[in-house]
Amino acid sequence: MLHLWVTVLSLLVVTTGLDNGLGLTPPMGILFRCSVNCDNFPDGCLKETLRAVLLRWTPLSSSEDLVRSTADKFAEDGYQDAGYEYIILGDCVTSKERDAYGKLQPDPDRFASGFKNLSDYIHSKGLKFGMYTNYGNSTCAGYPGLIGHMEQDIKQFASEWEVDYLKVDNCNTDYSTDIQGYTDYSTDIQGYTEIGRLLNETGRPIYLQCEWPGNEPDWSSIPALCNSWRTYIDIVDGYTSLVKIVEYMAENQDTFVPLAGPGHWNDPDVLTVGNKAMLRSWQQMALWSVMASPLIMSTKLNELGGGDETLLKNKDVIAVNQDPLGRMGRRIFWRRESTARERLRRMDTSPKPEGVPSHATQRARRDGVVRSQPRTARRGRENGQTTLRVVPKISGEELDTESPP
C-alpha cells in the first residue's frame, strides 16, 4: 500500500487560538507522561531507570531531579537550539488532597522544593514550564481535577507557578457516560471556552492543549478554543499503534487539514522516539513533521542512543515541521497493491508571492520486513524544489520512488 501526502502552501493571514498569540508553529518539547497506576507505582514515568543511573554513576534521582536534569540537557546538549522549549509535567505530580484553602499542592516526596522553584529553574535555562490538569472531578489517574476549582487552579498555574503550557485532559466527571470514565463531549465546548476565558484573564500567555473524550467533538469549533487538541487514541510503543493513528488522520483528513495553521494544531499524540525500534522512530518523526503536528517527545533523554539524538535534532526534518505557513500534509496517493507507503508535503519556502514548492517524503513498508535501519536524512535542490527525504532501507535496498504529481 503506497500513500502520498501533500500540502500546497499559500500566503496566509496569521491567526491565533485563544487570543494568546502562541503556537505560531507546532510546539516542541518533552512531556513526562504518567502511564502507570500511580498508587502502585508512584514514581512511574517520572523516575530514572536503573540503567540510566548505572550509565551515569549517580544516585537514583527523584522526579524533580529528573526534570531538572532534562532542563540541563535541553540547554546544554543542543535540544533547545533545535527548537525544543517546553518541559511539561504530566499526571500524578500533585498530592492526592488539596490544602486547607482548596489549592493544589505538589507531591512532597517527588517535588520537595515545590513547583515554583522548579518553574524558576526551567525558566533560568531560557525554557518554558508546562503542567497537566483535567477538566473533570479528578484526573485520569485520580488526582484533583478542575471541576469546582477552575478559577482557583488557573490562577495558581498562572500566578503562583508561572506555567507557560497547560495540558488539559478530560476524565472523571459526574456526567461520565462510558466505562473509561471519559466525559460526554457535548458539554466540553462550554468547559474549554471557560478555561480559555480564565487563562486570558490571567494576563499570562499560556499555551493550551485540549483533549476530547472519545475524540468525536465538533472539530470545527476547537481552533477558537485551544492551541492544539488530541485527535485520536493514545499512542503506545508498537508499529500497530503508529499505523492506526496515521490511518485515522488520513481517513479524516478533510476534517483535520482545514483546522491546522498558526496558533492551532492537530495533535496525534507524543513522539515515542527512543523507546524501542529506530526505524519506527524515523517513520514517526517524518510523519509528524509532514502532518504539522506538535513535536512533544515522551522519553528519557539520558537513555537515548546517538541515532535517536541525531533524529530528534535533525534540522531538516524539524524545518518541515516548523514551516511558518503551517499547512498540514494531505494524503494524495494510495496504491493498494504495494506494501510501501509514501507521504509528501509541499511548503512555500520562497520569498516570491507564488512560492517555490518543496516537499518531504517518508517511505516504509507495512509488512515489517526490515533488515537494516534508516541512516539517511538529506536535503537538496531538485528542479527548483527543496527536497527532504527520510529514507528507510528495506532488505538492504531503498524503496523505489515515484515523482510527486
- Please, which residues bridge with residue 211 across strands? none
Candidates 218, 234, 237, 400; catalytic one? 234
Instruction: Examine the residue annotation and report whether 234 is marked as an active-site residue of this protein.
Output: yes
Distance CA 173, CA 181 (A): 7
Q: What's the length of the chain?
A: 405
> Is there a contact between 325 and 347 (Cβ–Cβ < 8 Å)?
yes
For residues 357 and 8, is the Cβ–Cβ distance under 8 A?
yes
Beta bridge partner(s), residue 348: 357
User: Cα 359 to the chain's mean position, in Å?
Assistant: 22
Is 153 within 8 Å of 202 (Cβ atoms)? no
Residues 6+ apart with CB under 8 A from 106: 93, 94, 95, 114, 115
Question: Which grid cell sits at 111?
Answer: 517535588
H helical segments located in 163-292 = 188-202, 239-251, 253-256, 278-290
C-alpha R_g of the chain: 21
Q: Are 90 and 167 in contact (CB under 8 A)?
A: yes
Which amino acid is located at 85 in the chain?
A: E
Q: Which residues contact 229 (CB under 8 A, 6 or more apart)?
A: 209, 210, 211, 212, 222, 265, 266, 267
* Assigned C-alpha cell, 7: 500540502
> Could you say which of 169, 267, 308, 348 is catalytic?
169
Q: List the strands of the sheet with 128-134, edge to edge.
A: 265-267, 228-230, 207-210, 165-169, 128-134, 86-89, 28-32, 295-297
The residues that are catalytic are 169, 234
